[in-house]
Protein backbone atom coordinates (compact mmCIF):
# COMPACT_ATOMS: atom_id res chain seq x y z
CA UNK A 1 0.00 0.00 0.00
CA UNK A 2 1.45 3.37 -1.01
CA UNK A 3 0.19 4.93 2.22
CA UNK A 4 2.53 2.72 4.25
CA UNK A 5 5.52 3.80 2.17
CA UNK A 6 5.32 7.23 3.79
CA UNK A 7 4.73 6.03 7.38
CA UNK A 8 7.50 7.33 9.65
CA UNK A 9 6.10 6.57 13.11
CA UNK A 10 3.01 5.64 15.08
CA UNK A 11 2.05 5.35 18.70
CA UNK A 12 -0.28 6.28 21.51
CA UNK A 13 -0.44 9.66 23.21
CA UNK A 14 -1.67 10.00 26.82
CA UNK A 15 -4.12 12.87 26.48
CA UNK A 16 -7.08 13.81 28.70
CA UNK A 17 -7.26 10.34 30.28
CA UNK A 18 -7.28 8.69 26.85
CA UNK A 19 -4.61 6.76 24.99
CA UNK A 20 -4.96 8.33 21.55
CA UNK A 21 -3.59 6.44 18.56
CA UNK A 22 -1.77 8.41 15.87
CA UNK A 23 0.31 7.85 12.76
CA UNK A 24 2.83 10.20 11.18
CA UNK A 25 3.65 10.21 7.47
CA UNK A 26 6.22 12.13 5.46
CA UNK A 27 8.21 15.23 6.36
CA UNK A 28 7.61 18.96 6.16
CA UNK A 29 5.10 21.36 7.64
CA UNK A 30 2.66 19.53 9.95
CA UNK A 31 -0.87 18.76 8.77
CA UNK A 32 -3.31 17.16 11.22
CA UNK A 33 -6.03 14.90 9.77
CA UNK A 34 -9.34 14.43 11.64
CA UNK A 35 -11.61 11.63 10.42
CA UNK A 36 -15.37 11.22 10.19
CA UNK A 37 -17.77 9.34 12.46
CA UNK A 38 -17.12 5.57 12.78
CA UNK A 39 -13.99 5.90 10.62
CA UNK A 40 -10.34 4.97 11.05
CA UNK A 41 -7.22 6.46 9.48
CA UNK A 42 -7.07 4.02 6.53
CA UNK A 43 -10.82 3.95 5.93
CA UNK A 44 -10.98 7.73 5.71
CA UNK A 45 -7.62 8.83 4.34
CA UNK A 46 -5.88 5.91 2.59
CA UNK A 47 -6.12 7.60 -0.81
CA UNK A 48 -5.28 11.10 0.36
CA UNK A 49 -2.35 10.49 2.72
CA UNK A 50 0.16 9.38 0.02
CA UNK A 51 -0.47 12.55 -1.95
CA UNK A 52 -0.22 14.87 1.06
CA UNK A 53 2.78 13.10 2.61
CA UNK A 54 4.96 13.78 -0.42
CA UNK A 55 5.51 17.34 0.79
CA UNK A 56 4.14 17.45 4.36
CA UNK A 57 4.37 15.87 7.77
CA UNK A 58 0.92 14.32 8.00
CA UNK A 59 -0.37 13.48 11.48
CA UNK A 60 -3.42 11.24 11.39
CA UNK A 61 -5.35 10.54 14.59
CA UNK A 62 -8.08 8.14 15.66
CA UNK A 63 -10.38 10.01 18.01
CA UNK A 64 -12.08 8.77 21.17
CA UNK A 65 -13.66 5.35 20.64
CA UNK A 66 -12.59 5.13 17.02
CA UNK A 67 -10.16 2.57 15.63
CA UNK A 68 -7.30 1.82 17.97
CA UNK A 69 -8.26 4.52 20.48
CA UNK A 70 -10.36 2.96 23.22
CA UNK A 71 -13.57 4.63 24.31
CA UNK A 72 -14.14 5.96 27.82
CA UNK A 73 -17.09 6.94 29.97
CA UNK A 74 -16.60 10.54 28.88
CA UNK A 75 -19.51 11.78 26.73
CA UNK A 76 -18.65 12.86 23.22
CA UNK A 77 -18.48 16.59 22.64
CA UNK A 78 -16.91 18.71 19.93
CA UNK A 79 -15.05 20.73 22.55
CA UNK A 80 -13.59 17.61 24.19
CA UNK A 81 -12.51 16.12 20.85
CA UNK A 82 -10.96 19.46 19.89
CA UNK A 83 -9.06 19.56 23.19
CA UNK A 84 -7.85 16.00 22.52
CA UNK A 85 -6.46 17.11 19.16
CA UNK A 86 -4.74 20.06 20.82
CA UNK A 87 -3.32 17.75 23.47
CA UNK A 88 -1.94 15.39 20.83
CA UNK A 89 -0.14 18.23 19.05
CA UNK A 90 1.31 19.36 22.38
CA UNK A 91 2.44 15.79 23.15
CA UNK A 92 4.18 15.63 19.77
CA UNK A 93 5.89 18.97 20.39
CA UNK A 94 4.04 20.76 17.59
CA UNK A 95 3.31 24.42 18.36
CA UNK A 96 1.06 25.00 15.35
CA UNK A 97 -0.20 23.03 12.37
CA UNK A 98 -2.54 23.08 9.44
CA UNK A 99 -5.67 21.00 10.03
CA UNK A 100 -7.92 19.02 7.68
CA UNK A 101 -11.15 17.51 8.96
CA UNK A 102 -13.79 15.47 7.17
CA UNK A 103 -17.44 15.33 8.34
CA UNK A 104 -17.24 14.92 12.15
CA UNK A 105 -13.57 15.86 11.88
CA UNK A 106 -14.46 19.09 10.09
CA UNK A 107 -16.66 20.19 12.97
CA UNK A 108 -13.93 19.19 15.42
CA UNK A 109 -11.48 21.21 13.32
CA UNK A 110 -13.69 24.28 13.59
CA UNK A 111 -13.99 23.77 17.36
CA UNK A 112 -10.21 23.34 17.59
CA UNK A 113 -9.65 26.59 15.71
CA UNK A 114 -12.12 28.40 17.97
CA UNK A 115 -10.75 27.00 21.24
CA UNK A 116 -7.04 26.92 20.36
CA UNK A 117 -6.57 29.62 17.72
CA UNK A 118 -2.79 29.81 18.13
CA UNK A 119 -2.45 26.12 17.20
CA UNK A 120 -4.09 26.32 13.78
CA UNK A 121 -2.36 27.96 10.82
CA UNK A 122 -4.95 27.03 8.20
CA UNK A 123 -8.07 24.88 8.36
CA UNK A 124 -9.65 22.70 5.67
CA UNK A 125 -13.22 21.55 6.28
CA UNK A 126 -14.52 18.79 4.00
CA UNK A 127 -18.26 18.03 3.86
CA UNK A 128 -19.04 19.13 7.38
CA UNK A 129 -21.37 21.34 9.40
CA UNK A 130 -20.96 24.17 11.90
CA UNK A 131 -24.43 23.64 13.35
CA UNK A 132 -26.91 20.78 13.27
CA UNK A 133 -29.30 22.69 11.02
CA UNK A 134 -26.54 23.02 8.42
CA UNK A 135 -27.46 19.47 7.35
CA UNK A 136 -30.49 18.93 5.14
CA UNK A 137 -33.63 17.44 6.67
CA UNK A 138 -33.04 14.12 4.91
CA UNK A 139 -29.60 13.83 6.56
CA UNK A 140 -31.07 14.68 9.96
CA UNK A 141 -33.69 11.97 9.42
CA UNK A 142 -30.95 9.46 8.61
CA UNK A 143 -28.98 10.48 11.71
CA UNK A 144 -32.07 10.08 13.88
CA UNK A 145 -32.63 6.59 12.44
CA UNK A 146 -29.04 5.55 13.18
CA UNK A 147 -29.31 6.86 16.72
CA UNK A 148 -31.58 3.90 17.51
CA UNK A 149 -30.54 1.34 14.86
CA UNK A 150 -26.78 1.83 14.42
CA UNK A 151 -25.57 -1.62 15.61
CA UNK A 152 -27.99 -3.52 13.37
CA UNK A 153 -27.65 -1.20 10.38
CA UNK A 154 -23.85 -0.94 10.40
CA UNK A 155 -22.91 -4.52 11.30
CA UNK A 156 -22.56 -5.85 7.75
CA UNK A 157 -20.33 -3.03 6.57
CA UNK A 158 -16.59 -2.36 6.17
CA UNK A 159 -16.87 -0.22 9.31
CA UNK A 160 -17.52 -3.30 11.43
CA UNK A 161 -14.81 -5.32 9.69
CA UNK A 162 -12.24 -2.61 10.39
CA UNK A 163 -13.44 -2.19 13.99
CA UNK A 164 -13.03 -5.91 14.63
CA UNK A 165 -9.53 -5.76 13.14
CA UNK A 166 -8.08 -2.86 15.13
CA UNK A 167 -10.26 -1.91 18.12
CA UNK A 168 -8.84 -2.71 21.58
CA UNK A 169 -12.18 -4.28 22.56
CA UNK A 170 -14.21 -5.45 19.57
CA UNK A 171 -17.12 -6.37 21.86
CA UNK A 172 -17.58 -2.63 22.52
CA UNK A 173 -18.93 -2.18 18.96
CA UNK A 174 -22.68 -1.86 19.82
CA UNK A 175 -22.03 0.68 22.55
CA UNK A 176 -19.58 2.64 20.41
CA UNK A 177 -21.74 3.01 17.30
CA UNK A 178 -24.85 3.78 19.36
CA UNK A 179 -23.01 6.41 21.40
CA UNK A 180 -21.48 7.97 18.27
CA UNK A 181 -24.78 7.92 16.38
CA UNK A 182 -26.63 9.57 19.25
CA UNK A 183 -23.92 12.22 19.49
CA UNK A 184 -23.99 13.25 15.83
CA UNK A 185 -27.81 13.31 15.83
CA UNK A 186 -27.91 15.75 18.77
CA UNK A 187 -28.51 19.40 17.81
CA UNK A 188 -25.49 21.66 18.24
CA UNK A 189 -24.27 25.09 17.15
CA UNK A 190 -20.67 26.30 17.28
CA UNK A 191 -22.01 29.85 17.32
CA UNK A 192 -22.03 32.76 14.89
CA UNK A 193 -19.81 34.91 17.09
CA UNK A 194 -17.29 32.09 17.52
CA UNK A 195 -17.07 31.54 13.77
CA UNK A 196 -16.63 35.27 13.18
CA UNK A 197 -13.68 35.28 15.55
CA UNK A 198 -11.75 32.71 13.49
CA UNK A 199 -8.71 34.44 12.02
CA UNK A 200 -7.08 31.44 10.36
CA UNK A 201 -7.74 31.02 6.63
CA UNK A 202 -10.37 28.33 6.05
CA UNK A 203 -10.98 26.26 2.92
CA UNK A 204 -14.48 24.79 2.72
CA UNK A 205 -14.78 21.82 0.35
CA UNK A 206 -18.32 20.58 -0.16
CA UNK A 207 -20.11 18.35 -2.61
CA UNK A 208 -23.10 19.76 -4.45
CA UNK A 209 -25.18 16.85 -3.14
CA UNK A 210 -23.34 15.83 0.03
CA UNK A 211 -26.24 16.47 2.41
CA UNK A 212 -25.14 19.94 3.48
CA UNK A 213 -27.67 22.76 3.24
CA UNK A 214 -26.00 24.98 0.66
CA UNK A 215 -27.64 28.08 2.13
CA UNK A 216 -25.94 27.27 5.43
CA UNK A 217 -22.66 26.66 3.61
CA UNK A 218 -22.95 30.14 2.08
CA UNK A 219 -23.72 31.56 5.53
CA UNK A 220 -20.64 29.90 7.01
CA UNK A 221 -18.47 31.20 4.18
CA UNK A 222 -19.86 34.69 4.71
CA UNK A 223 -19.09 34.52 8.44
CA UNK A 224 -15.51 33.62 7.48
CA UNK A 225 -15.26 36.75 5.32
CA UNK A 226 -16.28 35.27 1.97
CA UNK A 227 -19.06 36.05 -0.43
CA UNK A 228 -17.78 39.52 -1.30
CA UNK A 229 -17.24 41.24 -4.63
CA UNK A 230 -13.62 40.24 -5.04
CA UNK A 231 -12.95 42.67 -7.87
CA UNK A 232 -13.87 45.57 -5.61
CA UNK A 233 -12.98 44.36 -2.11
CA UNK A 234 -10.19 41.94 -2.94
CA UNK A 235 -10.24 38.22 -2.35
CA UNK A 236 -10.80 37.02 1.23
CA UNK A 237 -8.28 34.73 2.91
CA UNK A 238 -10.85 31.92 3.16
CA UNK A 239 -12.05 29.92 0.15
CA UNK A 240 -15.07 27.85 -0.88
CA UNK A 241 -15.13 24.95 -3.34
CA UNK A 242 -18.30 23.06 -4.31
CA UNK A 243 -17.47 19.94 -6.32
CA UNK A 244 -20.08 18.87 -8.89
CA UNK A 245 -21.85 15.50 -8.93
CA UNK A 246 -20.41 14.68 -5.53
CA UNK A 247 -21.85 12.99 -2.44
CA UNK A 248 -20.74 12.98 1.19
CA UNK A 249 -19.02 9.59 0.97
CA UNK A 250 -17.89 10.16 -2.61
CA UNK A 251 -15.76 13.17 -1.70
CA UNK A 252 -13.18 11.05 0.06
CA UNK A 253 -12.86 8.88 -3.04
CA UNK A 254 -11.58 11.69 -5.28
CA UNK A 255 -8.16 12.27 -3.75
CA UNK A 256 -6.76 13.86 -6.91
CA UNK A 257 -9.49 16.51 -6.92
CA UNK A 258 -9.10 17.18 -3.21
CA UNK A 259 -5.33 17.42 -3.45
CA UNK A 260 -5.63 19.88 -6.32
CA UNK A 261 -7.55 22.19 -3.97
CA UNK A 262 -5.69 21.47 -0.73
CA UNK A 263 -2.07 21.97 -1.80
CA UNK A 264 -2.51 25.39 -3.45
CA UNK A 265 -4.49 26.60 -0.42
CA UNK A 266 -1.84 25.43 2.06
CA UNK A 267 1.03 26.72 -0.07
CA UNK A 268 -0.47 30.17 -0.59
CA UNK A 269 1.15 33.06 1.29
CA UNK A 270 -1.44 35.13 3.08
State residue 126's pLDDT score: 98
State residue 3's pLDDT score: 65
Q: Which domains does the chain have, with CATH numbers?
A: 7-227+235-267 (3.40.50.1820)
Q: Could you write out the three-class secondary structure of 120-183?
A: EEEEEEECCCCEHHHECHHHHHHHHHHHHHHHHHHCCCHHHHHHHHHCCCHHHHHHHHHHHHHH
Distances, alpha carbon 200 to alpha carbons 66, 147, 192, 203, in Å = 28, 34, 16, 10
Distances, alpha carbon 270 to alpha carbons 16, 122, 227, in Å = 34, 10, 18
Positions in the chain short of pLDDT 70: 1-4, 270
State residue 5's pLDDT score: 76
E strand or H helix that includes residue 101: strand 97-102
C-alpha 267/C-alpha 203 separation (Å) is 12
State residue 44's pLDDT score: 97
Q: What is the pLDDT of residues 80-120, one digit of tens each?
A: 999 999 999 999 999 999 999 999 999 999 999 999 999 99
C-alpha 121/C-alpha 83 separation (Å) is 16
Q: What is the pLDDT of residues 198-208, one digit of tens each?
A: 999 999 999 99
State residue 269's pLDDT score: 83
C-alpha 52/C-alpha 261 separation (Å) is 12
Question: How many C-alpha atoms does 176 have within 13 Å on its Cβ side?
Answer: 26
State residue 227's pLDDT score: 92
State residue 244's pLDDT score: 97
C-alpha 167/C-alpha 128 separation (Å) is 25
Residue 233 exposed, middle or buried by CB count within 10 Å (0-12, 13-18, 19+): exposed
State residue 270's pLDDT score: 60
Produce one character per residue of 65-76: b if its CB has 16 or more CB atoms within 10 Å, e if not.
Answer: bbbbbbbeeeeb
State residue 239's pLDDT score: 97
Phi-psi sector, 17: left (phi>0), alpha (psi -120 to 50), beta = left
Amino acid sequence: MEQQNYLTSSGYAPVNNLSIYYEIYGEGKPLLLLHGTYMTIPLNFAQLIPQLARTRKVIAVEMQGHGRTADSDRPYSYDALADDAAGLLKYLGIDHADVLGYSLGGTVGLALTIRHPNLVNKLIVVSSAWQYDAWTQSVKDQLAFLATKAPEFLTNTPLKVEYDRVAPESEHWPLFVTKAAQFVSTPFDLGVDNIKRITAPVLLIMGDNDGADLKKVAELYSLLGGGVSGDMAGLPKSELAILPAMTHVGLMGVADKLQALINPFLDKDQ
